[in-house]
Amino acid sequence: MTRKQKRLTMILGGLAVIGLAIGIILYALSGTITFFHTPSDLTATGVKPGQRIRLGGMVEDGSVKKGTGTETTFAVTDQIKTITVSYNGILPDLFREGQGVVTEGSLKEDGTFVADTVLAKHDENYMPRELAESLKEKGVKLGKGADQ
Amino acid sequence: MIAEFGHFALILATGVALYQFLVPLVGAHRGDTALMRTGISAAVLQLALIAVSFVVLTHAYIVSDFSVQNVYENSHSAKPLIYKISGVWGNHEGSMLLWVLILAIYGGAVALFGRNLPLELRSRVLAIQGAIGLAFLLFIVLTSNPFQRLDPPPIEGNGLNPILQDPALAFHPPFLYAGYVGLSIAFAFAVAALIEGRVDAAWARWVRPWTLAAWMFLTIGIAMGSWWAYYELGWGGWWFWDPVENASFMPWLVSTALLHSAIVVEKRNALKIWTVLLSILAFSLSLMGTFLVRSGVLTSVHAFAVDPERGLFILIILCLFIGGSLALFAWRAPMLKAGGLFAPVSREGGLVLNNLLLCVACLAVFIGTLYPLALETFDGPKISVGPPFFNLTFGPIIMPLLLLVPVGPFLAWKRGDMAAVWRRLWKSLAVAVVIGLIVLAVNIRGPWLAPVGMAMAAWLVLGAIADLAARIGLFKVPLSSSWHRFTGLPRSAIGGILAHGGLGLMIAGIIAISLWKVEVIVALKTGESADVGAYTVTFLSETPLSGPNYTGRAGRFLVKEGDREITTLVSEKRNFQPSGMPTTEVGLLQTLLGDVYVVMGDETTDGARAMRMYYNPLVNFIWLGAFIMFCGGLLSLTDRRYRVGAPKRAISAQAVAAE
């Protein structure tokens, strides 16, 4: 092969790899991202049951009920609408009533939310940014640390 | 008074950095030896001043001087000494001070040990280091003064976030920073080479040890962070594709590529432009990591700074350095002469493919990390990109690379001979395939990735062994002469073999924990048991707990394998003073084959406690592999050929010609 042909082979090979990779990335982006919603825009945007989403809001005071074994149900609210969330597992250390929370899972047909993940917070003042902004837009008054 | 002394030293250091940036650059431009020489003294002086400043802050933490605001906000007199010291960098201001300290240490090392570098190159490298130092010192002095006083001084401090009070995490930031900042040297060399318009084999020899050091520290720093997340957060996982993790992983990927492409520049005088670009990209990603983690753009345990002014300042630094160096690259790179020819199947070709795949893998991580942020900035929907995205993209991109790793070292330079490679590797490949088939037979209904992944891990380890065996002629020559050859091997060769083998162990661990992890969530009363993998865990008792700065409850668990009692584990729920923040301590039985991991949760309605238990097979191979990779790097670094500044330009040019 001449110098030119060698270089061409390398460049074409490289472009093929990059093209393939970008294809995979785009495909993955269309399929694996999860959207973040608060209870009220969950109804507004028409999320279908079974679709994987993140649901965020405040844990309503007095709503946490321990079930049998490791089952827990609680209500997540953005003060406009409230959704009941059930979760089987251990709640993060900083999960508390009246505090912000982000859960991941999907809606059931009956309108309740089944979470398989409840996001742990790293310290007591932490509120997920996406949540703080969404709540602020809706004019919900936020507690300490919410501006972070 | 002492704190003001530290502040004063820091301001002086800023002035010295300005000098170090401008004067050697002018000197090198004019060919003025005297001016260039002052750059060396400036770098040493800057190191001394920043060191004084850092020692002063550390002193304030050790003696709990709460009149210093930074100490008041992040320390507490009841904290153990080691966490008083680690508290220095457990906050925004102190961690930035550590950043510039490490930068100054690298700069000082170039100044003191770079005697064999041509003076012009050394001056330019020091000038670029000075510029980076200047930017970050200005940032500290103007927006993040760690020596701010409080009047009147409070009696007690606020304490450090309790989940940061941990031995692995105490040393995670210094190692990670040593990695991030170490890449600044490769960056400085690249920019200096662009100014000079010259890149040759000697240049690559000077850049390699610095890149290697940075890579080593990044490897061990990331491993420590992941180890901490594994046993401290209590989620049973070791890597979450969290943006903060990704921010440190991207420079690692690119510096791995840089490490390999610098070999091609050194041995074959090819890929020069590409290597210069990689040096710039590696440090740019480090800077971006610092920005993402420190600016408050991401919310995490790392985001100390929530002041938008600071975020903007770092963003400006970021744009100046990345934009400036890339513009310089676009202008000057065409002047670098293209180097040697090689066939697509050759060592060079293999290393090009390595670089291509590593960079594309980095691109996937980059998009997954920044896409949600970009979308949010432009008021798009709020999304999160989680592990499914990264598994789907990073996995398929990195897998061909892992398959090719054992092949690379057997390819000859210029033109490789696949038949010869096959003769040396077919046994390793055969054993790896057999291992894959055994895994398939044992686990016939399991995911297809299990046999493939395990075969791949075995292939990496066996390939590394085959590499060693071929180099020392194992079983081809008498054992005594094999040993003789082994002792004569360059240390960098053994280092490379260790790094590739360590990677194999790490892959085995990753595949095993990803596919065969056993998770049990169950409510237990005292006396009850649950099965976790091959083990039975019995909840023995629950007792109150009190430590130096916390109180809580401790659960005791008996671990049995069949009828044999193995050990008793303790999992704790702690409440830290003064913040009142609760944390969980994991009960962990570590063995090489797998860990039993017990987390005690809340009480349930019927008086039991929720428990989360895991059996994590081979998980320790991940950190063992990382440690072996680190050792490989360390061994290479002691290779006399890479001693800092060891090669002289003229001599090494001859050596390359002779090869």
For residue A61, what are its two tokens? 């005071």
In whole angstroms, give the CA distance from residue A95 to residue A64: 10
What integer pLDDT is reported at residue A146 of this predicted model? 35
User: Which residues neighbour B121 within 8 Å (Cβ) at sequence distance 6 or greater?
Assistant: B189, B192, B193, B196, B203, B206
Cβ separation of B382 and A14 shorter than 8 Å? no
What integer pLDDT is reported at residue A120 of this predicted model? 55
Cβ separation of A21 and B233 shorter than 8 Å? no
Residue whose pair of structure tokens reads 């009841």 in the numeric block: B78
pLDDT at B99 > cutoff 70? yes
What integer pLDDT is reported at residue B649 of this predicted model? 47
Q: List the single residue in A3, A21, A67 with the smallest CB-CB distance to B341.
A: A3
Cβ separation of B383 and A89 shorter than 8 Å? no
Q: Which fold has domain A35-137?
A: OB fold (Dihydrolipoamide Acetyltransferase, E2P) (2.40.50)
In whole angstroms, give the CA distance from residue B88 to residue B78: 15
Cβ separation of B363 and A35 shorter than 8 Å? no
Q: List the 87-106 stretch of A: residues with Cβ below 8 A of B.
A: 88-91, 93-94
Establish if A141 touches chain B: CB-CB under 8 angstroms: no
* Max mean pLDDT range (A110-114, A119-123, B352-356): B352-356
Cβ separation of A90 and B599 shorter than 8 Å? yes
User: Which residues neighbour B174 within 8 Å (Cβ) at sequence distance 6 or greater?
Assistant: B89, B98, B102
pLDDT at B623 > cutoff 90? yes
Q: List the single residue in A10, A54, A147 with the smallest CB-CB distance to B384.
A: A54
pLDDT at B601 > cutoff 90? no
SS3 of residue B560 by DSSP = strand
Cβ separation of B393 and A36 shorter than 8 Å? no
Neighbours of B292 (CB within 10 A): 26
* Max mean pLDDT range (A108-112, B198-202, B248-252): B248-252
Element (H, E) at B509: helix B491-516
Chain A residues near residue B303 by CB distance under 8 angstroms: 148
pLDDT tens column, B363-403: 999 999 888 888 877 777 778 888 889 989 999 999 999 99
Mean pLDDT of all residues in B137-153: 89
Chain centre to alpha carbon of residue B415: 34
Query: Can you list the domains of chain B with their CATH numbers?
Result: 1-163 (1.20.120), 518-620 (no CATH)
In whole angstroms, give the CA distance from residue B139 to residue B201: 37
What integer pLDDT is reported at residue B15 of this predicted model? 95
pLDDT level of residue B177 (50, 70, 90 thresholds): very high
pLDDT tens column, B520-552: 888 888 889 999 988 999 999 889 988 877 888
Residue pair B183/B211 in contact (Cβ under 8 Å)? The answer is yes
Q: Which chain A residue's Cα is nearest to B341?
A: A3
User: Which residues neighbour A119 within 8 Å (Cβ) at sequence distance 6 or greater?
Assistant: A92, A101, A102, A103, A104, A128
**Long-range Cβ contact pairs of B537-546 (< 8 A, separation 24 or more):** B537/B569, B537/B596, B537/B598, B537/B613, B539/B609, B539/B611, B540/B568, B542/B609, B545/B572, B545/B574
Cβ separation of B521 and A88 shorter than 8 Å? yes
Single pTM value for the model: 0.90
Provide the residue ranges of all domains of chain A, joining segments of one domain with +.
1-33, 35-137
Least confident of A115-119, B4-8, B139-143, B539-543: A115-119
Which residue, B160, B147, B140, B158, is CA-closest to B91?
A: B160
pLDDT level of residue B305 (50, 70, 90 thresholds): very low
Tell me how close the Cα of B322 comes to any Cα of chain A, in angstroms: 23
Cβ separation of B383 and A36 shorter than 8 Å? yes
Q: Which chain B residue's Cα is nearest to A89?
A: B521
pLDDT level of residue A121 (50, 70, 90 thresholds): low
Cβ separation of A69 and B584 shorter than 8 Å? no
Establish if B498 touches chain A: CB-CB under 8 angstroms: no
Average pLDDT over chain A, rounded to an integer: 77
pLDDT at A94 > cutoff 90? no
For residue B510, what are its two tokens? 């990753």
Residue pair B609/B526 in contact (Cβ under 8 Å)? The answer is no
For residues B522, B525, B529, B533, the Cα torsion angle rounded to the nearest 10 degrees is 20
ipTM above 0.85, yes or no: no
Cβ separation of B602 and A66 shorter than 8 Å? yes
Strand partners, A105: A53, A115
Mean pLDDT of all residues in B30-42: 90
Number of cross-chain residue pairs from A and B with Cβ atoms under 8 Å apart:
133
* Bond preceding residue B490 cis, omega within 30 of 0: no
pLDDT tens column, A62-79: 888 887 777 888 998 887
In whole angstroms, give the CA distance from residue B621 to residue B627: 10
* Max mean pLDDT range (A104-113, B374-383, B628-637, B644-653): B628-637
Establish if A12 touches chain B: CB-CB under 8 angstroms: no
Q: List the single residue in A24, A36, A133 with the smallest CB-CB distance to B384.
A: A36
